[in-house]
């Protein structure tokens, strides 16, 4: 059987991209001050890139206490809330938005458990952390929290929409 003409193949490829875009999602990932201070930014970015996710926004920021209180608003009644805000305000944070198929769920698996002691080897926290109070990274835990966190940390203009040249090598 003959291959379809190039125009037909290109059209089919565009349809596949639209299908992929409709099932793709975005997540918010933050490398906490301990991860930045320990020089782990490159290692963490490398893991997300090697998995096949696309970086669409990133900034190094000294987060204000107001931003952090809003970010962790769901924890405000917990006894560790004020200490968490102070810790996150103690140094720079690398805030990022990653995009890809099932990036929220897969990103959470890549991070490991909140408590590094419970994290498996091969996860970011399992490989790079020892104690829950210094677990180096935050990741959105749902589509709703990802949307809220992305909108809190980034303006729409800071989210870059582009097509990665690796797309066809990652997705069918």
Binding residues for ATP: 32, 80, 108, 114, 125, 135
Q: Which residues are annotated as a binding site?
A: 32, 80, 108, 114, 125, 135
Q: What is the C-alpha separation between 151 and 37, in angstroms, rounded? A: 26
Cα-based distances in Å from 55 to 10, 45, 83: 25, 9, 30
Residue 92, helix vs strand vs coil: coil
- The residue from 71, 89, 138, 167 that is catalytic is 138
Cα angle 53, 55, 128; round to 5: 75
89 is catalytic: no
Active site residues: 138
């Amino acid at each position: 059987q003959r291959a379809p003409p190039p125009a037909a193949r290109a059209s089919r490829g565009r349809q596949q991209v639209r299908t992929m875009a409709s099932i793709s999602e975005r997540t918010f990932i933050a490398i906490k001050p301990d991860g930045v201070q320990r020089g782990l930014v490159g290692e963490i970015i490398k893991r997300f890139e090697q998995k096949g996710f696309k970086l669409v926004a990133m900034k190094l920021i000294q987060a204000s206490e107001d931003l952090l209180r809003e970010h962790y608003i769901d924890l405000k009644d917990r006894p560790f809330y004020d200490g968490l805000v102070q810790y996150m305000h103690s140094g720079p944070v690398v805030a990022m938005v990653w995009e890809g198929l099932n990036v929220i769920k897969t990103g959470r698996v890549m991070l490991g458990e909140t408590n590094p002691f419970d994290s498996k080897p091969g996860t970011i926290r399992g490989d790079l952390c020892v104690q829950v109070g210094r677990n180096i990274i935050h990741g959105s835990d749902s589509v709703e929290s990802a949307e809220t966190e992305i909108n809190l940390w980034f303006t729409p203009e800071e989210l870059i929409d582009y097509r990665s040249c690796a797309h066809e090598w990652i997705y069918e």
